Structure 1
Amino acid sequence: MNFVMKAALGGGPPDVGKMLGGEEKEEDPDAAKKEEERQEALRQQEEERKAKYAKMEAEREMMRQGIRDKYGIKKREEAEAEAAAAAEEPAAGSLTRPKKAVPAGCGDEEEEESIMDQVMKYLPGPLQDMLKK
């Protein structure tokens, strides 16, 4: 009931005139110019904000570098690069060598075939025939 009273006294929604076939408002001839100015102002504000934060980040990086120099700490990227280089370097005879570095001659197919041939020599003839099939 409250809604009906408000609608009756308030004049209804603002688009009622358009729905009933009333006149539409004409756009301001300077609206395009105003919108362009508004967009330019937004771009300028965004550029100023980015410049401000870039300046703050540069100041922070200078502070970080001062601390690194004072305490002899390496930058994270440099430390990671050195660790990666050390991991790539093959350690001869090391127990912790990478799994990719398999010495030549280990697990070759030729050796497996030769082992099968040797086993076949010791099997009886009928059993050899069955395994060959």
Structure 2
Amino acid sequence: MDLHIEYAQEKNLNWQEFIDTLIKSTLGERRPVDDLDRIKMMVENANLIVTARINGQLVGVARSVTDWVFCTYLSDLFVDESYQKLGIGRELIKQTKLASPQAKLILLSAPKAVAYYPRIGMTHHAHAYTLDAPEDLV
């Protein structure tokens, strides 16, 4: 498949376009796709969004929160299933890293993608933790 894929930073990505592509990827099952207000805020509050488009159609997104110099948390990385296995995810990660070169890029893998990241050269870090609710602290 010889496709011209355009990568860009988009500061005003349309949240409906975001959700449509999210649903077309395997990550849609792990995001609040039925909570449109939450999805809209996820898009609006991210300060680094890198997109992949083919003929203007959104096919992939890397959505991050970054301080630009110390850490970039890549919170969503997804590619429309029809366009997976073409290197789009890897290039979205690369473009995200190039946008914040001093910052360490950090992500939490979706279960289906655990084997993907080491294959493309990312380092596994065993010391990540999450907290869903403050009352969970003891």
Under a length normalisation based on structure 2, what TM-score does the superposition of the two structures give? 0.14
Q: TM (normalized to structure 1)?
A: 0.15
- Which of the two has greater helix per residue? 1
Structure (1/2) with the larger strand percentage: 2
